[in-house]
Amino acid sequence: MRRLLAPSLILAATLAAASAQAATPKDALVMAWNLDALITLDPAQIAEVNGNDIMRNVCSRLVRFNIADPSKLEPEIAESWSSSEDGLTLTFKLRKDIKFPSGKAATAHDAVWSLKRAIHLNFGNAANLTEWGFTSAKADEQIRAVDDHTIEVKLPQPYPTGLIVSAAFTSNVSSVLNKETGEKNAKTTDGRSDYGNGWFKTQSDCVGPYKVRTWNANDVLILEANDIYFGEKPGLRRVLIRHVPESGAQRLQLEKGDIDVGRLLSSDDLKALATNKDIHIEQTVMHGYSYFAFNAQDPILSNPKVRLAFRYLVDYEGLERTVMAYQGKARNSLVPIGAFGALDEKAGLPFKLDLDMAKKLLTEAGYPNGFTKKYILSANAFNPAVAQHVQANAAKVGIKLELEQMADANLFTKMRAREFEIGQIGWGAGYPDAHSMVSRHAQNPDNRPEAKLAQYPTWRSAWVDPKVNDMAAKAMMERNDAKRIAAYHELQKYMLENGPMAYMFQTVRPIAIRKEVKGFQIGAFEVRYRSASK
Amino acid sequence: MSVTDVNQPRETISRRPEASKIPPWAWDAWRIVSSVAVTLLGLLALTFFIGRMLPIDPVIAIVGEQADASTYDMVYKQLGLDKPLYVQFLYFMGDMLRGEFGNALFMGNKVSADLMRVFPATIELATIAITIGVFVGIPIGVLAAVYRGSPIDHFARIIGLLGYSVPTFWSGLMGLVLFYAILGWVGGPGRLDVFYIDIVDRVTGLLLVDALIAGEWEVFQNAVSHIVLPASILSFNAIAFISRLTRSFMLAQLSQEYILAARVKGLSKWKVIRKHAFRNIAVQLLTIVALAYAILLEGAVVTETVFAWPGFGRYLVSGLLAGDMNAVLACVLIVGIIFVSINLICDLLYRILDPRTK
């Protein structure tokens, strides 16, 4: 027994000494998040929420959204921009005081290299440029540095300036990377350069308020202030993002003060934290949706009246208060509140739970006794509860929904392959303009199976409407703002009645923050770490 | 096969050639190596082909759900997924024979580098957990057998029942609430507090060892405070497993006549238990402890998730959910090697512990 006593006392002393440490460092912001999906830090490749959020604080873009009102644009690396009379040339004037963390001056040549690199690499993010007609073959003519501080962009069409700048030059691909670092670390395989992708995947060398110091995948990511950043200096020297995948554990750490910010908390944990006077919960309405999509290849679901009937099977506001608390805001229109061209809150939520109306529409469609359909969904978060709600209401009007839960990767694969009847899924708009959603959720350039336009949810739903394609194309090219807004309003109203998706909730992003953290600015498209202080 | 065939004397590969000049130890080594190689190859082939049948697309994880077909096709080819399945498998085997496991599809890191990062975290956790399991489980089992039917035995039964039936997710969170949030006796999720991250250079990957090597006593203390709770939670199941079987082995020994004879000779009760009964169950105990350790080394996904522990189990499951077969195959191989190695070590230890096996 005495032999066990000594080690026990040492352990107790060790624990007592170690547990005396409390709170987070004064000069650091400590966040907890689920970093499972974070697989790259290369701005040309990032395709998920965490990477986008983090790298906006590491690599500044040419232009940024106003954090409070994202429909307004602000200068960032570009101090100004202008469009030629014919609308076919965009000119960006860059700041003269931009430097990489090493102290080397950043120039328009670095910015142009970064833009063209994204096009050549052709990861998902390249679509921010390629869908406007920029191509790998023509990139040298389309994007060029006039001098060290001027970029000239030749547009294939005279797009409205606000739209093209918002869509292409606020995105990850407009981050200014160090060309020298990229070229030095580039690897060529089968005659194809990776433009330093292997290096930029795990490290950073770009113009921005923070630089990546350490990244231990699925453990911790540490950012350090870039002392020679041109803009507002970071209030805290370091940002530590810890991988804490379990909501309950995050909540305990937040309550105890071992983290400053909790980024992935369940509704139940948020409800519990809401009563804690040391913690504030910031809810941001995002430009994304939870919705269910119908596959129009199915003869029953191709009937617009059937799809309309489904829209009356959801108690939107009831779910918003319960299952979707802190997670979603009821909305049916495909353009999110806060985006240019969106219907207002009332017009954007015309549906409510109305079983009689649903039954009437089903009868008119020729299915008074209902039918049976498979309904696939993600097993994550609120999805099962929402699907069960839809299932229960559908049963009341004779529709039998067979729910099948699956991993996200499996769900995406099935929907991209058109292998579903009804699928519940989410989508995030890339920029706060109606076109971002309309171009994917209303337009469908080619509905043939062999076109494989899996990036278009309309194609996934095998739904196309030439009238909608035409309305969307006209709205996009309209250079008069008032007329453009009116065109999008008309299109949204049409889609509410006819579209292949039943939108339920605009995504809400809850972030729980300890009260010691001041000035933490949170927007729909950016969480500004540098504004935080203690 | 005809009757004649069956009756023919046959030379098989498993038979040791009598007149061979090959020394017995070499023959034994060859037999072990070849059977291990065949076992691991079969394990890999089975995992690979089952993995490829899963309806999970690794390309989506890389290019994003909104990517267009050309981006998708580009990455699909880069990953070699356009090649026939057997070619993909041969590529992997080629990498493996070169001592690599290829690149993880997700981040593009070498899987071997990833494993060097995550496996030590699991070794550290599993080793402490099995140590707790052995030092708590065996005494409980022995006492329960010696005092069969007594309150001690009932207590051991309750411990066993709880260890088997309480979900780790629940016990982990409850442990955190009590010992971390309320009492403040232990550190929270993760291997270290934020103050101590990045202080110690990585040498072995075992944080406790690295902290001692670096002479960073405070980091060591902090790491201990973080590992003690997940290791204790993880050991709970091992305690149940070890204590129940120890009890059963001991009961079998205690009912033997030699125990009675020893007592009649005048040996004290505990001397008989320690010197005779316990010694005779050592081989069986070794087997179950080794098995429990191997299971712990596979990684405990739930414990690693609740305690944000960057270990092997979560790496394996993340790889599986993302369809990252390079990572999954490497992990399966590691698990296979763990089991085979632990079996071999046990075989050797049997010879030491049980003279009859020499």
Residue of B nearest to A250 (CA): B189
* Contact (Cβ atoms closer than 8 angstroms) between residue A157 and residue A233: no
Alpha helices in A107-235, H assignment, sequence order: 108-121, 127-130, 139-142, 161-168, 179-184, 197-200
Q: In Å, how far is B277's CA from the nearest CA of chain A? A: 21
Q: For residue B9, what pLDDT is reported?
A: 43
Task: Measure the CA–CA gap between B236 and B254, rounded to whole angstroms.
Answer: 26
Q: Is A369 on the interface with B (CB under 8 A)?
A: no
* Contact (Cβ atoms closer than 8 angstroms) between residue B211 and residue B227: no
Tokens 């944990």 locate to A269
**Chain A residues close to B69, C-beta within 8 Å:** 452-455
Tokens 């096709």 locate to B73
Residue of B nearest to A131 (CA): B68
First to last CA, chain A: 49
Q: Is A194 on the interface with B (CB under 8 A)?
A: no
B-contacting residues in A 112-141 (Cβ below 8 Å): 122-127
pLDDT confidence bin for A348, thresholds 50/70/90: very high
Burial of A243 (0-12, 13-18, 19+ CB in 10 A): buried
pLDDT above 80 for B95: no
Q: Which of B69, B106, B176 sits opposite A454 (nearest CB)?
A: B69
Q: Which of B173, B185, B188 sits opposite A258 (nearest CB)?
A: B188
pTM given for the model: 0.82
* Contact (Cβ atoms closer than 8 angstroms) between residue A519 and residue A534: no
Q: Which of B63, B194, B221 sits opposite A47 (nearest CB)?
A: B63
Q: Which two tokens stand for residue B280?
A: 């005779």
Q: Which of B75, B225, B307 sits opposite A18 (nearest CB)?
A: B225
CB contact under 8 A, B64 and A124: yes
**Chain A residues close to B187, C-beta within 8 Å:** 18-19
Task: Measure the CA–CA gap between A508 and A326, rounded to whole angstroms.
Answer: 6
Helices (H) and strands (E) in chain A, counts: 19, 21
Task: Give one DSSP letter per residue of A344-384, joined into a string.
Answer: -TTTT------HHHHHHHHHHHT-TT--EEEEEEESSTTHH
Residues 6+ apart with CB under 8 A from B118: A218, B310, B311, B312, B314, B315
**Chain A residues close to B176, C-beta within 8 Å:** 248-249, 252
Q: Is A47 on the interface with B (CB under 8 A)?
A: yes
Q: Which of B57, B181, B191 sits opposite A409 (nearest CB)?
A: B57
CB contact under 8 A, A249 and B176: yes
Strands A28-33 and A238-243: parallel
pLDDT above 60 for A15: no
Residue of A nearest to B169 (CA): A246
From residue A58, how far is each of A216, A241, A524 by CA, in Å?
A: 17, 13, 18
pLDDT confidence bin for B108, thresholds 50/70/90: low
Task: Measure the CA–CA gap between B275 and B258, rounded to whole angstroms.
Answer: 12
CB contact under 8 A, A48 and B64: yes
3-class state of residue B290 by DSSP: helix
% of chain A beyond a pLDDT of 70: 96
Q: Which amino acid is at A272?
A: A
Q: In Å, how far is A408's CA from the nearest CA of chain B? A: 9
pLDDT (average), residues A13-32? 69
**What ipTM was estimated for this complex?**
0.75
Which of B65, B192, B193, B198 is the mutation pick for testing A, counting most A CBs within 10 A?
Answer: B65
**Comparing A360 with B316, which gets the higher pLDDT?**
A360
Q: Is A48 on the interface with B (CB under 8 A)?
A: yes
Residues 6+ apart with CB under 8 A from B327: B101, B104, B105, B106, B111, B114, B315, B316, B318, B319
Q: In Å, how far is B248's CA from the nearest CA of chain A? A: 25
* Contact (Cβ atoms closer than 8 angstroms) between residue A509 and residue A286: yes
Q: For residue A495, what pLDDT is reported?
A: 96
Using H for helix, E for strand and C for coil, what is the string for A26-55?
A: CCEEEEEECCCCCCCCCCCCCCCHHHHHHH
Angle subtended by helix axes B325-353 and B24-53, to nearest 10: 150
> A115-145, pLDDT tens digit by residue?
999 999 888 788 889 989 999 999 999 999 9
* Contact (Cβ atoms closer than 8 angstroms) between residue B345 and residue B290: yes
pLDDT above 60 for B132: yes
Residue of B nearest to A259 (CA): B194
Task: Measure the CA–CA gap between B338 and A273, rounded to whole angstroms.
Answer: 43
* Contact (Cβ atoms closer than 8 angstroms) between residue B231 and residue B300: no
> A288-345, pLDDT tens digit by residue?
999 999 999 999 999 999 999 999 999 999 999 999 999 999 999 999 999 999 999 9
Tokens 């700048």 locate to A165
Burial of B125 (0-12, 13-18, 19+ CB in 10 A): buried
Count Cβ neighbours within 10 Å for each residue of A295-330 and write b for 16 or more, e otherwise.
bbebebbbbbebbbbbbbbbbbeebbeebbbbbbbb
> B289-319, pLDDT tens digit by residue?
988 898 888 768 888 888 989 888 888 888 8
Q: Is A68 on the interface with B (CB under 8 A)?
A: no
Beta bridge partners of A211: A224
Beta bridge partners of A63: A75
Task: Give one DSSP letter per residue of A466-526, joined into a string.
Answer: HHHHHHHHHHHH--SHHHHHHHHHHHHHHHHHH-SEEEEEEEEEEEEEETT-B--EE-SS-
CB contact under 8 A, A17 and B195: no
> A370-429, pLDDT tens digit by residue?
999 999 998 877 899 999 999 999 999 999 999 999 877 788 888 988 999 999 999 989
CB contact under 8 A, B117 and A216: yes
Q: For residue A341, what pLDDT is reported?
A: 93
CB contact under 8 A, A244 and B189: yes
Q: Which two tokens stand for residue A296?
A: 């129009």
CB contact under 8 A, B69 and A17: no
Q: In Å, how far is A147's CA from the nearest CA of chain B? A: 32
Q: Which two tokens stand for residue B229?
A: 């709770």
Cα A293–A294–A296 angle (5° rounding)?
Answer: 140
Q: Provide the sign of the torsion angle of the four alpha carbons A390, A391, A397, A399, taken in this order.
A: positive
Task: Measure the CA–CA gap between A58 and A47, rounded to whole angstroms.
Answer: 16
Mean pLDDT score of chain A, rounded to an integer? 91
**Residues comprising chain A, all counted:** 534
B-contacting residues in A 425-484 (Cβ below 8 Å): 427, 440, 452-455
Lowest model confidence (mean pLDDT) among A357-366, B47-56, B167-176, B336-345: B47-56
CB contact under 8 A, B173 and A248: yes
Beta bridge partners of A405: A377
Residues 6+ apart with CB under 8 A from A459: A444, A446, A447, A451, A453
Q: Which of B220, B308, B321 sits opposite A409 (nearest CB)?
A: B321
Task: Measure the CA–CA gap between B304 and B154, rounded to whole angstroms.
Answer: 31
CB contact under 8 A, B68 and A242: no
pLDDT (average), residues B270-280? 84
B-contacting residues in A 230-259 (Cβ below 8 Å): 240, 242-246, 248-249, 252-253, 255-256, 258
Alpha helices in chain B, H assignment, sequence order: 3-7, 24-53, 58-63, 69-78, 85-97, 111-146, 151-165, 168-175, 207-213, 217-254, 257-264, 269-272, 278-297, 301-306, 312-321, 325-353
Strands A521-522 and A527-528: antiparallel
Strands A28-33 and A261-262: parallel
